[in-house]
Amino acid sequence: MNFSKPKPDTTQTYRAGWLLPISSPPIKDARITVVGGVVAKVESFSANAGNASVIDLGNVAMMPRFVNAHTHLEFSDCSEPIGAPGIALADWIGEVIRARGVSDETSRQAAIAKGVQESADAGVGLIGDIATTPSAYPDSIDPLIVSFAEVLGLSLDRHRERLAGAATHHQALLVSSSVFSAISPHAPYSTPPDVIAECSRRANQHGVPLAIHLAESPDERELLDHASGPFAASLRRAGVWREGIFPYTDDSIPSILETLAPAPAVLLIHGNDLSEREIEIISQHRQMSVVYCPRTHHFFGHDRHPVADLLRSGVRVALGTDSRASNPDLSIWEEVRFLLQKRQDIDPQQVLAMATLMGAEALMFGSPRAVSSRLQKRAIGQLVPGKTRFDSLLMVPTAGKQLDSVFADFSATETSQLKFCSANRPSDGHNTDN
């Protein structure tokens, strides 16, 4: 059966067991009024009974689609993670380079398209993607994408080439309505300090986010502070060691944070090895966010992630999947389930915010600092009456009568059990009268 788009003045009312707007408190037994496909009003069902026809969605919790704040879509053709669980980061990077040595632009675009579709199927509405330039996305895109042009290379020729590619990438995306430009100096072990500074300058100039892999492991810190350890050995074996870059300083990570500070939004990817002092510095810069990839962190066997300390310090923490090179899939919902099961020290409502609103804020959606008005006006990762389309919401099955029971149900609910709302028809709902 075909369903036409709702007319602008079409009004429909839905009832759901729970509504989780994210930016406001959960509503039990919720009433959602939709006008022309846009959520116009949310309230407790008992607050305004009325006599209008209602579509009862039953035992579900409704919430916004997810935000994957960090991934590498070009690795979406990996059938399983590269390397054995517990592999050292420096060794894993070498394995990735060897595994991807035969990759070309055509295979990369095919992998990206596969990753976009997998993300959409998993309820992701916004992706922060690290892109090897030149890079392109499918013509028809469901999730919005913030595409970070990756800049790396310890040699002058390599990082100059990548900086030029980032400039071309930015210009090409100015006309896109669904893919937004950003920049990523890959990591301090692959990108010289002056190039990181240049990326920060460009992010500030264009009003776009910047992402950098930082504090991934103690081995990274040993390289940056002392020019020694497994990373130094790996770079020398690969023949890319360049004298005069390492060590950065005696206080490398705080120095890097200071270099990044001019950028309007900074995503610090992973942050597995952040110290208390570094967390305090980050907390003083509201434009900085940490992106935590729980299952990738678990794959490498890192020490316990300081995510709870970051949240207590007021640092925005978003969730990412990293890539299929270190993760079995691209489902942010599975990252949520992992945290609900493994990190009971984090409030479940914060976990959901990390999977939605905090990711959107990290990527500058709704930010007044964004140069693009398209970013300023978007309500992503939250339900905002008057801005949120009904078909941008998800339904998670739950018969829970209290929030703790709802979250217990969530931890047991697989990605395949999530359902999408439709403004054109009810999804497993039925008509009732109040």
**Buried-state track 171-183, b at ≥16 Cβ within 10 A, e below 16:** ebbeeeeebbbbb
Structure tokens at 79: 């059938």
Q: Supply 350's token pair.
A: 């914060």
User: What confidence tier does 213 reach under pLDDT thresholds 50, 70, 90?
Assistant: very high
Res 102: pLDDT: 64
| The predicted structure's pLDDT at residue 372 | 53
Q: What is the mean pLDDT of the chain?
A: 91
CA dist 36 and 55 (Å) reads 16
pLDDT confidence of residue 425: 44
Please tell me the predicted confidence (pLDDT) of residue 181. 95
Domain 11-64+383-433: homologous superfamily in CATH: Urease, subunit C, domain 1 (2.30.40.10)
The 10s digit of each residue's pLDDT in 276-314 is 999 999 999 999 999 999 999 999 999 999 999 999 999
The pLDDT of residue 164: 97
Q: Quote the pLDDT of residue 238.
A: 87
Do residues 221 and 253 touch, judged by C-beta distance below 8 A?
yes
Nearest to 151 by CA among 176, 174, 178, 170: 170
Domain boundaries, the chain: 11-64+383-433, 66-377
Reported pTM: 0.94
d(CA 219, CA 231): 6
Write down the pLDDT at residue 98. 82
Q: What is the pLDDT of residue 366?
A: 72
- The CA distance from 184 to 203, in Å, is 9
Q: pLDDT digits over 222-281, tens only? A: 999 999 999 999 999 888 999 999 999 878 999 999 999 999 999 999 999 999 999 999
Strand pairing report for 265-270 and 430-433: unpaired
CATH superfamily of 66-377: Metal-dependent hydrolases (3.20.20.140)
Mean pLDDT of 158-175: 95
Provide CB contacts within 8 A for 104, sequence distance 6+. none
Give the pLDDT of residue 135.
87
Mean pLDDT of 57-83: 96
Does 321 score more than 50 pLDDT? yes
3-27 CB burial, b ≥16 within 10 A, e <16: eeebeeeeebbbbbbbbbbbeeebb
pLDDT class of 433 with cuts at 50, 70, 90: very low
Cα separation, 73 vs 134, in Å, equals: 14
Residue 328: pLDDT band (50, 70, 90) is very high
Residue 161 pLDDT greater than 90, yes or no: yes
User: Of 118-132, 374-388, 391-405, which range is least confident?
Assistant: 374-388
Residue 142: which pLDDT band, with cuts at 50, 70 and 90?
confident
The angle, 0 to 180 degrees and rounded to 10, between the axes of the packed helices 218-226 and 252-260 is 90
How confident is the model over 29-48, as pLDDT tens digits? 999 999 999 999 999 997 55
CA-CA-CA-CA torsion sign (116, 119, 121, 126): negative
Length of the chain: 434
Q: What is the pLDDT of residue 209?
A: 96
Give the range among 1-15, 234-248, 403-417 with minimum mean pLDDT: 1-15
| For range 343-364, the mean pLDDT | 97
Between 256 and 431, whose confidence is greater?
A: 256
Worst-scoring range by mean pLDDT, 48-62, 65-79, 269-283?
Answer: 48-62
Largest CA distance in the chain: 76
Q: How confident is the model at residue 368 (pLDDT cuts 50, 70, 90)?
A: low
Q: What is the pLDDT of residue 430?
A: 44
